[in-house]
Structure 1
């Protein structure tokens, strides 16, 4: 039965009519996008090796992305997914095994006013119950949060354009990616870059606990009543000291001459994600715990630090 369904889906897919010109543009765009993704991957590796150059690499990546082949391919795929009923229907029938949360579509806000530019991608997430039905409460909750977040970014950009009266220089880029899709956790990450005289990086990550179907923050991955803040904070401070001792170009706000700037502690709402190795990663925005020149910074927390207090299924 499964083989028959797959054969039928394959037949329907190949019967879908796509204009030759559009197909060629999409395929060309995808090939170029893959090249851009590989370039960005290599850039990311080098950036992690050289923390002080992180911001500049990010700006270069942004400059390459705006108006590039990757964006063209993405827009073309958006048109395919949202304009053609037969195409959208076929895409919707592709099975997603073992997942109860996924990005089902997205829209894109773009504007170019003189020397000011914005590209804001707004995904829509669908959360499903174990029986495959849509969990409308959780779906509405995460999409409303995403909508409010992206609306605020767009509104700020529009206000800046109006205030500049055509004389400003600004680029706003907001992109997203699903960074965790495990048996227990679904996480979608937003990276925002605002470039004016300099650049500013911020990170926003939304999480859904697949066991409950609910949105969670950092506290949601730990056992109730346990103290996760102190051990994670202590480990981050230890990593900060080790990095500063190993590289004079690395600086964190820790035991500095301006105590009010020093990093004190994480909170229950501190940004985090679980990486591909199943490790907890704590994320700080640019300027939050280090000089702006270091960009956003991340700390991988060893599993042994939290293994007795984290809930099953989140980390390895």
Structure 2
């Protein structure tokens, strides 16, 4: 029944009348983004120590812009929440040893619009958090769904405002999808990937995390032991990685010891974006322009386990 419903939704989606030229641009961009994600997931542990050269990533996006045409530029905005996207994943999650809570996506709705050459497809998941006894933790469930709702409503409202401002005659496409990026015994994380084709581009990342031990939404500080200093050792390691990358590649630049000290990276905060990768290691994420030139895009730093192993709570990293 569920598979039939999904098949029908997929059929309805593809029957929406969208200008062929715009659809080709959008789908080409999405295929390229998914290809990049698949390639990254297949890299070895040694390769994950060093992020793919950001300049190459930006060049790929520039190539896509040229393909799309002079009036349209591309922006790939990776935004992260945490979710479970189907019956197979839900079944697999049921087999995970439960520490205190379990989280899963139970449904989603979809906003779609096509106005001349302006197009949007925004998927909005709903997450359910259950206690160890199987009873729904309503407070935690409401908290994450409210955050997701506010975030996706903002994306939809911005698109609608752009359509109105352009009187429907602009060039823009917004595609927002989601997937689980972390689903360990301790942590559940949902990722939103947003592809935007418009007159300018930017790359940002947003991630929501649920601590399965408590069933609560957490930020970076939530994975560390209470009262410990995690900011200084992580910040110092990031500075070291920045220096090593710049020394190894002249095309890599970070705001560090520069002529404009006010721009220089100083330290992370309790709310700095992060995720735990497939190897169980902490990855710190910075938005485009936050610690490096805009041409570098969004940048990530994998923190060695030995830097934080004595101060992180059990079950979050390996």
Q: TM-score, normalised by structure 1?
A: 0.75
CA distance in 1, matches of 2:204, 2:273: 10
Corresponding residue to 1:205 among 207, 212, 218 = 207
Task: Give the structure 1 partner of residue 281 of structure 2.
Answer: 279
Structure 2 gaps of 5+ residues are: 13-29, 69-84
Task: Give the structure 2 partner of residue 96 of structure 1.
Answer: 94
**For residues 27-176 of structure 1, what are the structure 2 equivalents within 5 Å?**
37=34, 40-42=37-39, 48-57=51-60, 96-98=94-96, 100-176=102-178
Structure 1 gaps of 5+ residues are: 1-12, 27-32, 65-77, 82-87
- In our comparison, the structure showing a higher alpha carbon Rg is 1
CA distance in 2, matches of 1:91, 1:183: 14
Task: Give the structure 1 partner of residue 304 of structure 2.
Answer: 302
8 Å CA contact retained: 2:51, 2:300:
no
Task: Give the structure 1 partner of residue 224 of structure 2.
Answer: 222
Cα distance, 1:39 vs. partner?
6.5
Cα distance, 1:22 vs. partner?
6.2
CA distance in 2, matches of 1:196, 1:35: 17
Q: Deviations over 1:33-79 (max 9, x none)?
A: 99995565237869953321213545878999xxxxxxxxxxxxx9x
Query: Which structure's relative contact order is higher, taking Cα pairs within 8 Å and 6+ residues apart?
Result: 2
Residue range with higher mean Cα deviation, 283-292 or 98-107: 98-107
Cα distance, 1:170 vs. partner?
2.1
Corresponding residue to 2:290 among 268, 288, 305 = 288
8 Å CA contact retained: 2:202, 2:297:
yes
Task: Give the structure 1 partner of residue 268 of structure 2.
Answer: 266
CA distance in 2, matches of 1:115, 1:289: 34
Q: 1:217 to 1:164 in 2, by over 3 A?
A: same
Corresponding residue to 2:247 among 245, 248, 261 = 245
SS where residue 199 of structure 1 aligns?
coil
**Number of matched pairs:** 273
Residue range with higher mean Cα deviation, 185-194 or 225-234: 185-194
8 Å CA contact retained: 2:176, 2:195:
yes
CA distance in 1, matches of 2:123, 2:132: 29
Question: Whose helix proportion is higher, 1 or 2?
Answer: 1
SS where residue 203 of structure 1 aligns?
coil
CA distance in 2, matches of 1:115, 1:183: 45
